[in-house]
């Protein structure tokens, strides 16, 4: 859908000819240039914005903080090859449009693309998957039957919820998702893993490292800080070398 929007915008800009491009050659070539420029920009900035937002989430920074650097740095990264292409098509651009002015044009085009992607895609998606910060909003249970949960595992800024019936992803920190598991005997065994006791079928020991063998064939790492906690709970009574 985003790519189709990019093609539509590129077609419109090709007909309008902004930044003096209206006087560059014939309309078909001008339209092809703008369609390629905007379409590649939609793909490039869509990927970069998502990756930057995920990095901000991991660092505990607000996702909006990535917008300015994505615009400023991304414009430089994409603007350089686009300038090379444009000069190859229209050599007069090299003298008519200095590099700094070219960069300013790239920022002017990039800004609405990144803002639109942030508010219409990333921000909307995040709000539908995370609870509101204001008011009393109940936290959704990790599954229709919380008792069926076997383990939770962090995957980037999502939590994979593995149950007896399959698995699904939930956006948010592990602590928020585990808050819906009251009444289940389970522990967080690693910064990225929470395991229900009934999901454990054995323990692997490799030197000082421990891993829990789970019913579905997966193994969950046990952090050194959690070893004493698991031993106190009686979970590691049957430690076996791998």
Instruction: Count Cβ atoms below 10 Å from residue 43 Cβ, excluding itself.
Output: 13
Q: Which pLDDT does position 15 carry in this prediction?
A: 65
Q: Which pLDDT does position 88 carry in this prediction?
A: 85
Q: Which pLDDT does position 74 carry in this prediction?
A: 86
Nearest to 14 by CA among 39, 36, 31, 35: 31
Q: Which pLDDT does position 137 carry in this prediction?
A: 36
Q: Which pLDDT does position 194 carry in this prediction?
A: 92
pTM for this prediction: 0.45
Q: Which pLDDT does position 242 carry in this prediction?
A: 43
* β-strand partners of 240: 204
For residues 232 and 90, give the distance between their C-alpha atoms in angstroms, rounded to a whole number.
73
Residue 94's Cβ-count burial label (10 Å; 0-12, 13-18, 19+) is: middle
Nearest to 86 by CA among 109, 67, 112: 109
Q: Percentage of the chain surpassing pLDDT 70?
A: 78
Segments of the chain scoring below 50 in pLDDT: 22, 125-141, 143-144, 240-242
Nearest to 61 by CA among 180, 193, 157, 171: 157
């Amino acid at each position: 859908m985003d790519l189709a929007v990019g093609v539509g915008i590129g077609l419109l800009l090709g007909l309008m000819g902004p930044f003096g491009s209206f006087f560059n050659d014939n309309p078909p070539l001008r339209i092809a240039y703008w369609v390629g420029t905007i379409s590649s920009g939609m793909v490039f900035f869509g990927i970069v914005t998502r990756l930057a937002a995920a990095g901000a989430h991991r660092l505990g920074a607000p996702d909006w903080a990535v917008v300015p650097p994505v615009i400023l740095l991304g414009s430089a990264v994409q603007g350089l090859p686009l300038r090379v292409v444009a000069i190859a098509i229209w050599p007069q651009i090299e003298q008519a449009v200095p590099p700094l002015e070219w960069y300013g044009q790239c920022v002017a085009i990039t800004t609405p693309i990144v803002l639109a992607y942030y508010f219409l895609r990333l921000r909307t998606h995040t709000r539908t998957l995370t609870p509101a910060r204001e008011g009393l909003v109940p936290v959704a249970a990790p599954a229709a039957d919380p008792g069926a949960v076997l383990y939770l595992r962090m995957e980037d800024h999502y939590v994979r919820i593995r149950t007896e019936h399959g698995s699904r992803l939930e956006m948010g920190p592990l602590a928020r998702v585990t808050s819906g598991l009251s009444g289940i005997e389970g522990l967080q065994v690693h910064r990225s893993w929470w395991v229900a006791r009934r999901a454990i079928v054995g323990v692997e020991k490799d030197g000082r490292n421990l891993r829990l063998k789970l019913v579905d064939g997966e193994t969950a790492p046990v952090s050194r800080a959690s070893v004493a906690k698991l031993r106190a709970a009686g979970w590691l009574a049957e430690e076996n070398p791998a």
